[in-house]
Structure 1
Amino acid sequence: MKFSHSIQFNAVPDWSSYYIAYSNLKKLIYTLEKKVVQSGAKANATDPERSALLSDNVDTDAVFRRALDAELEKITGFYEKKEDELLKEVQQLLKDVEEYEMSTAEFADPNPYKGRQLRSSASSGFERWGAGTDVGRTEDGDDSDDDDDGPDGGADGANDRLLRGGSQRSANPNMHASVLSEAPSDMTFRRRASLAYSEDGDPYMNVIYDKRITLKKRAISLFVALRELKSYSQLNRTGFSKALKKYDKILQRNLKVPYIENKVAPAYCFQESTIKYLDENINKITLMYANLVTGGDFEEAKKELRLHLREHVVWERNTVWRDMIGIERKANAAHMGPLVGSSVEKRRLHGDDPSTTVYTKQLWTPMGHCTVPIWLFSSSFFILATIGIVFSVLLKVNIFDTPEQNNCFAMLVFVSLLWATEVIPLFVTSLLIPFLVVLLRIVRADEKPHERLETKAATKYIFSAMWTPVIMLLLGGFAVAAALSKYGIAKRMATFVLSRAGTRPRTVLVTNMFVAMFASMWISNVAAPVLCFSIIQPLLRNLPANSPFSQALILGIALASNIGGMASPIASPQNIIALENMHPAPSWGAWFFISIPVCIISILLIWVLLLITFNPGKNTTIVPIRAVKDPFSAVEIYITAVTLVTIALWCASHSLEHVFGDMGVIAIIPLVAFFGTGILTKEDFNNFLWTIIILAAGGLSLGKAVNSSGLLHTIAGHIKVMVEGHSLYTVLVVFCLMILVIATFISHTVAALIILPIVMRVGAAMEEPHPNLLVMGAALMCSAAMGLPTSGFPNMTAIMMEDQQTGERYLSVKHFISRGVPSSVLAFGVVVTVGYGLMKVAGF
């Protein structure tokens, strides 16, 4: 969690305005950075030799010190005031408890109350008095000591003292140390038979009981307040450290250490003696609570008070969280617009909780009015209903010779339409595949005469197809990506390269594109653009609004991430689908031999296109990216070593087939190495893209079903007749062009799921069979389809990027159409020329 969010979430709501204004300090840092950059740009324009002295032109240290001093004064003043209030309450509470002890001393001897039964509870301060006993006993069996003589005053006087205001705080400067050095009789309360509520209705006993409960509540409230004050000090000290660290990092200064030592550490609220004194008063309250409530058990008192603190914090944070979520939901609702008609009724299932809101509509029928959910009238419902009708019709129409082929064709069309329209989540559609395969009895036995399998045998058959070594390879790739991202190794590598790119716009642009491509190879083309966009934030915020370089840089990273999706077998799910349809599957070395040159040439061509269309070098001043200078830790070295060993084994998988059998077995190495050592946790495992895994597994089962039913053989035979007489190169161009068009409008992974099995079968059925070549070319083209904002995850991430100053998006749809479509065409040309030649050389 970012510290700006953490301080908001952990702050005491009533004190929120007295915490360090961390967000304002961040804005000030960015403003100072921009002034320094502008000053440097002017210096370069007039005298290049002055550019090295631009830090002297703007006295950023003085400006930032003034802001920090103001925050420190605010925090220290509030702390001293709040501490004074709370310590007065502590002294008053201790005094009231002592008076309470004195006022109840005459009841230490239970003889006047022989035969009277009093109820008590240890958790609420109640204790039992047994009838006919001579000595009062606490609930846990400890005997209570006798008290001194009777109280100084009656019940009314004691009650008046309870309600009286606090006493003045001692002016003694040594009070911090002297309070705890008092005589034990002043701090250690003698345990006795505590008074409880009288069943006989004794008024005096009832007043004593009420006073005890009041004292307990005051003790809990003070304990919570003192702990919150301690947290206030710690949180603000962390805020100063974080703000100074960010200032030093962004402006290349060394202000943190001297300011912390000379200003923050000597401040009263951050001194060790202050925190120690606060802890002493917390212990006083705990000790008092122990003698008043838990029969002198100090550890039990600590446990109860911490439980009260936890409940208070949970309730308080839950309230803050509810408010934040409520504001966000109201903002979202403001943009929804009116629903369908004026007859729409908003119903709440549980009070006013917005999360339980259900939208309904009154519908008239011959039987009367009925209430139906509003989603039944949405476009998604009508699309879903239409797809269902098409599915039902196809099940009844005999297009093919056998029922399993007819049923399989109906299912293929059904799931393809669901995937293409995304009317329901993609992974949900994948889960439907094994269900329909078994229900419609689509699969047949592998051995001749290929009899139709019964439902039980079909279940085992189709589920065995959903978990293959390729899925294990995908999990291994996720583990590598998670470790590289979690421990900042990917960011360290990226900033190392980008810091050496200099400040020339064209060099910075091409370097960022290659970094995005390289990151996509190992942490997937979903996470790579997010990483790259976070790295270039300092650069973007110092560029003017609507800068052509900003647009070229963001679009270049997105397009390069798409291209990077073809660079390695784990870079994108479509590559996993391709490996499953290639027999034998190529080694990583063979994949790299083809994909790396294709990626490099494609990125260079796209880079030239962006330079021509955006002209990003015009009036552009660039802040260089700073490399992470922290040394590699032992954990980071271990992660890097495991990753390199795993990649090396993947590259040599064919040579080591007699040892490991398959690349999926090698993928177990990073899983065990990272999760077994605690580098990755079960939370990281739960955060894997399981929807992608389910989607891939469903696609594999679909391919297995289409092949088993004979439908794939039939379709491939028809296509073979259509392409008969055409060369292998022509077939490759046709398939690549078809996939380019389809994958531009639907998900790259979905396009691969539907088309790659057909491509594989067509390639195997040709007179000169080259199924692996066609599948490899088609898989590369899946990643190269990037003509629309919805054509891939990198494009969707890029179009959501906003200028922090204006709140406007950097890119629009026209940028993707005018640059993304030509980029796709350029990548297509590279795949069917350079890629084709390399695949022939590799023996595909």
Structure 2
Amino acid sequence: TLKTELSGLYGIELDNNNDNNATAAAAVNAQNQDKKQDPIADVESSAYFLVKKDSTEVTEKLKVDSFDDDLEAAIEAHHHVHYDTDDDDSTEKVDDDLIARLKTLFKDIGNLKAFIALNHSGLVKICKKFDKAFGFQEQALINNFREEIFCYESASIFNVASVTRLEEELSDIAKLYHFANYYHCVNKPEFGLDQANAIRNHLDGYAANQNVFDKQHVEHSDNFQWTYSHFKIRGRILPFPTFFLRYEFLTELAIVVITLILSFVKTLEDKVQAKAVAYSFFMCANWAFAPMPLFMVSLSAPLVGVLFQICKTEDGSVITRSETANIAFQSMWSSTIMILISGFTMATALKKYNIAKFFAGFVLRKCGKSPRIIILLLMLIACYLSMFISNVATPVLCFGLAEDMLQDLGANSPLAKAIALGIAFAANIGGMASPISSPQNIVGMQYLQPYGVGWGSWLAVALPCSLICIMFIWGLICSMFNFKGEKIKQQKAFKLNFGIVEAYIFLVCAVTIALWCTSDQVAHVFGNSGVVGIIPMLAFFSVGILNKNDFVCFPWDIVGLAMGSLVFGKLITLSGLLGNIASSLEKHVGHLHLFAVTVIFDLLMLVIGTFVSHTVSAIVLIPLVQQVGARLSAPHAAEILIFQMALLASCGMALPSSGFPNVTAISQLDKKKRAYL
């Protein structure tokens, strides 16, 4: 592009073939006026505006014979300074603008060349894929269609001449760069092959580093930026940040104002418990309305709890803020969090090496073509996978397995609707099947541990409950939809080379789960389940099966949410507020049978879990029912209530927004972009 400046502005011929520069300049002007100019000409004409022409400082074109002398004179005219080559101080007068622009233009043209090569390779692969998919043995598309499209005048970027032209531009810029650096020197080095290669390597290195910077700049281009709305007041237009008019800001502002009012108003006789009411409102309102991310709400639990100073000892004395902070941070990291991270580790390994996909695909191929059997097996697969890779990742995996089947059926097919509902509901039910299948189970296990409820007890209760729920939902779906006339194609086999790595992953996961199920029996060896959870982390990360990128990609927002829930429950319990509420509820429900009490709280959990996050509903209600159960006279009332609430937290699924599996199902589209549900 600087050739345009040097040839059009200074009369230089970069090539030694004495072409007519006036003709070239006229061609560039014609291309600027032509709306159908080719991409490379467009790049040249656009880049021309990078060069500013000042006719008052350059009054006439320089006319010399040799290229070297001509270029030196032109660069000297560009700097508007005549140098004495014997003056050693002349180097201080060099203007770096020309060199900087040469570097930038070298990078831009190099990127254009790489972009052309990448798209050419992509289109060739597309054509080959088309020929292969349609069985064209002679590769009709790649041999015929490509000749017309890739070499058509409107697609001249793929022409050999175009690529050659770009390479010539890069060589010319390298030559310009050489003389721009040495034009003021007495003994100018010759521009030979070695010098050209050295300059090209230097410029290539600069372009690579600059492209990394550009990539980082693009990655941060979505950073928060202020936008303004303008209001006219008394004839003056005043800007106002739109951020302060957004739903999130207004909601958070209302929550903070109400929280401050509650903290100063005497809502209860006990001042600490009155502040705990304000603290509870702040946390629950933020979790319910989500003006900021849920994990950030959870991470604010220690901050707000310490500021409000809501903890007190058994004798009623207020705990200091420093001691409250220690209690909060001790609660954030526990064996429960280690179990959660361990579950993410095993889930990542099973997904990364396609073990879960292979297992699910194998079972699905054996089910035949009966619509009802296919729905049942998909639901069982979703439930089973949710036990070990969480009910967040399971629906995505299951819909991937059933994608071909759903695409063949279409959005209007009753079977497609039934499959989508079945996978979503089964993934929700699978969220109760094991202690690591969902965050709400992690919360429940934290409160069940003091009562001696471990993995074995959980699975003994949750698995039969999950199976009963799956069968009931399957029967309900089959009774609602008519599958007559539905034709199902046989599923394609998913090949997996089950080698040493896959066997190692399977063995480590099996041993870890077995140790969790027998945690009481091995407590004298490992201490608790959190220590057992370290085993798969060491087994997978230490040998390279998983790496740092896998660790970074863990859903840490869920970990933050779980940490905050533990802090919230601990601080509220130490405030005495839950005990006070539980005492009041015990007066109203204490005379009722335990079954009636469970029904009341179960219905409450279902309603809240339907409209609010499953995890949030568990965070709010489980500490409360633990206190209520502890005051009931019925044996094992507390663990029964906690267990039921933890299980039912996964069952609130009446709305499309009730839980991640429902959100995944409602977003599934067929080939024509129509929703199945």
Task: State the TM-score bracket (shorter-chain normalisation).
Answer: 0.7 to 0.9
Distance 1:239 1:403, change over 3 A: same
The Cα shift of 1:525 comes to: 0.8
SS of 1:611's equivalent in the other structure is: helix
1:358 counterpart = 2:227: yes
Q: Which residue of 1 aligns with 2:571?
A: 705
Q: Which residue of 2 aligns with 1:744?
A: 610
Selected match of 1:463 from 325, 329, 337: 329
Q: Which residue of 2 aligns with 1:679?
A: 545
The Cα shift of 1:634 comes to: 3.5
The Cα shift of 1:664 comes to: 1.0
- Per-residue CA deviation, residues 763-789 of structure 1 (Å, 9 max, x unaligned), is 122213422221111111110110011
Alpha-carbon separation, structure 1, partners of 2:68 and 2:196: 29
Distance 1:658 1:450, change over 3 A: farther
Q: Which TM-score applies when normalising by structure 1?
A: 0.60
Distance 1:632 1:282, change over 3 A: farther
For the 8 Å contact 1:720–1:766, the answer to whether it is kept is yes
1:424 counterpart = 2:292: yes
For the 8 Å contact 2:229–2:241, the answer to whether it is kept is yes
Q: Which residue of 2 aligns with 1:756?
A: 622
Alpha-carbon separation, structure 2, partners of 1:716 and 1:426: 27
Alpha-carbon separation, structure 2, partners of 1:292 and 1:238: 44
Q: Which residue of 2 aligns with 1:688?
A: 554
Q: Which moved more, 1:767-776 or 1:471-480?
A: 767-776
1:726 counterpart = 2:595: no
1:513 counterpart = 2:392: no
Alpha-carbon separation, structure 2, partners of 1:317 and 1:244: 35
Q: Which residue of 1 aligns with 2:533?
A: 667
Q: Which residue of 1 aligns with 2:456?
A: 589
Q: Which residue of 2 aligns with 1:307?
A: 205
Alpha-carbon separation, structure 2, partners of 1:305 and 1:368: 53
**Where do residues 625-664 of structure 1 align in structure 2 (5 Å cutoff)?**
625-664=491-530
Q: Which residue of 2 aligns with 1:64?
A: none
The Cα shift of 1:238 comes to: 4.9
Alpha-carbon separation, structure 1, partners of 2:666 and 2:294: 22
- Per-residue CA deviation, residues 463-508 of structure 1 (Å, 9 max, x unaligned), is 1111111011111111111222222222122111111122211111
Alpha-carbon separation, structure 2, partners of 1:602 and 1:436: 40
The Cα shift of 1:602 comes to: 0.8
SS of 1:790's equivalent in the other structure is: coil
1:572 counterpart = 2:470: no
1:412 counterpart = 2:280: yes
Alpha-carbon separation, structure 1, partners of 2:223 and 2:456: 54
Distance 1:810 1:295, change over 3 A: same
Selected match of 2:472 from 585, 588, 605: 605
Letter in 1 for 2:324: A
Q: Any gaps of 5 or more consecutive residues in structure 1?
A: 1-91, 97-153, 164-194, 204-211, 249-254, 270-274, 326-349, 812-844
Alpha-carbon separation, structure 1, partners of 2:347 and 2:442: 15
Q: Which residue of 1 aligns with 2:655?
A: 788
For the 8 Å contact 1:286–1:301, the answer to whether it is kept is no
Alpha-carbon separation, structure 2, partners of 1:423 and 1:225: 43
For the 8 Å contact 2:127–2:142, the answer to whether it is kept is no
Alpha-carbon separation, structure 1, partners of 2:191 and 2:648: 74
Alpha-carbon separation, structure 2, partners of 1:489 and 1:240: 32
Alpha-carbon separation, structure 2, partners of 1:694 and 1:557: 27
- Per-residue CA deviation, residues 565-610 of structure 1 (Å, 9 max, x unaligned), is 0011111100000011112352222211111111111111111111
Selected match of 1:803 from 658, 670, 673: 670
Distance 1:389 1:623, change over 3 A: same
Selected match of 2:423 from 545, 554, 557: 557
Alpha-carbon separation, structure 1, partners of 2:367 and 2:279: 52
**Where do residues 815-830 of structure 1 align in structure 2 (5 Å cutoff)?**
none
- Per-residue CA deviation, residues 388-425 of structure 1 (Å, 9 max, x unaligned), is 34323322333434221111122112211221122332
Distance 1:652 1:294, change over 3 A: farther
- Per-residue CA deviation, residues 204-239 of structure 1 (Å, 9 max, x unaligned), is xxxxxxxx9999999989977776676566545654
The Cα shift of 1:95 comes to: 8.7
SS of 2:309's equivalent in the other structure is: coil
Alpha-carbon separation, structure 2, partners of 1:521 and 1:703: 25
Letter in 1 for 2:428: N
Alpha-carbon separation, structure 1, partners of 2:455 and 2:131: 46
The Cα shift of 1:756 comes to: 0.2
Letter in 1 for 2:244: L
For the 8 Å contact 1:363–1:372, the answer to whether it is kept is no
Q: Which residue of 2 aligns with 1:32?
A: none
Alpha-carbon separation, structure 2, partners of 1:753 and 1:420: 12
Alpha-carbon separation, structure 1, partners of 2:393 and 2:578: 35
For the 8 Å contact 2:378–2:423, the answer to whether it is kept is yes
Alpha-carbon separation, structure 1, partners of 2:328 and 2:106: 65
For the 8 Å contact 2:349–2:505, the answer to whether it is kept is yes
Alpha-carbon separation, structure 2, partners of 1:430 and 1:444: 21
SS of 1:362's equivalent in the other structure is: strand
**Where do residues 231-630 of structure 1 align in structure 2 (5 Å cutoff)?**
231=118, 235=122, 238-239=125-126, 247=133, 296=194, 300-301=198-199, 303-307=201-205, 310=208, 356=225, 358-362=227-231, 371-445=239-313, 448-582=314-448, 583-615=450-482, 617-630=483-496
Distance 1:629 1:387, change over 3 A: same
Q: Which has the bigger relative contact order, CA under 8 A and spacing at least 6? A: 2
Alpha-carbon separation, structure 1, partners of 2:192 and 2:275: 73
For the 8 Å contact 1:480–1:523, the answer to whether it is kept is yes
Letter in 2 for 1:629: K
Q: Which TM-score applies when normalising by structure 2?
A: 0.74
SS of 2:332's equivalent in the other structure is: coil
The Cα shift of 1:680 comes to: 2.5
Alpha-carbon separation, structure 2, partners of 1:561 and 1:669: 27
Identical aligned pairs, as a percentage?
35
Alpha-carbon separation, structure 2, partners of 1:395 and 1:160: 82
Q: Considering only aligned residues, what root-mean-square deviation do their CA atoms show, in Å? A: 4.4
Alpha-carbon separation, structure 2, partners of 1:648 and 1:657: 13
SS of 1:619's equivalent in the other structure is: coil
Alpha-carbon separation, structure 1, partners of 2:516 and 2:104: 65
Q: Which residue of 2 aligns with 1:38?
A: none
Q: Which residue of 2 aligns with 1:111?
A: none
Alpha-carbon separation, structure 1, partners of 2:123 and 2:226: 39
Alpha-carbon separation, structure 1, partners of 2:208 and 2:666: 42
Distance 1:222 1:451, change over 3 A: closer
Q: Which moved more, 1:291-300 or 1:761-770?
A: 291-300
Alpha-carbon separation, structure 2, partners of 1:584 and 1:475: 23
Alpha-carbon separation, structure 2, partners of 1:786 and 1:225: 51
For the 8 Å contact 1:520–1:565, the answer to whether it is kept is yes
Distance 1:762 1:219, change over 3 A: closer
Distance 1:296 1:558, change over 3 A: same
For the 8 Å contact 1:444–1:452, the answer to whether it is kept is yes
Q: Any gaps of 5 or more consecutive residues in structure 2?
A: 1-12, 18-61, 86-97, 151-159, 179-188
For the 8 Å contact 2:354–2:496, the answer to whether it is kept is no
Number of residue pairs the alignment of both structures matches:
576
Alpha-carbon separation, structure 1, partners of 2:340 and 2:597: 30
Q: Which moved more, 1:539-548 or 1:552-561?
A: 539-548
The Cα shift of 1:542 comes to: 1.2
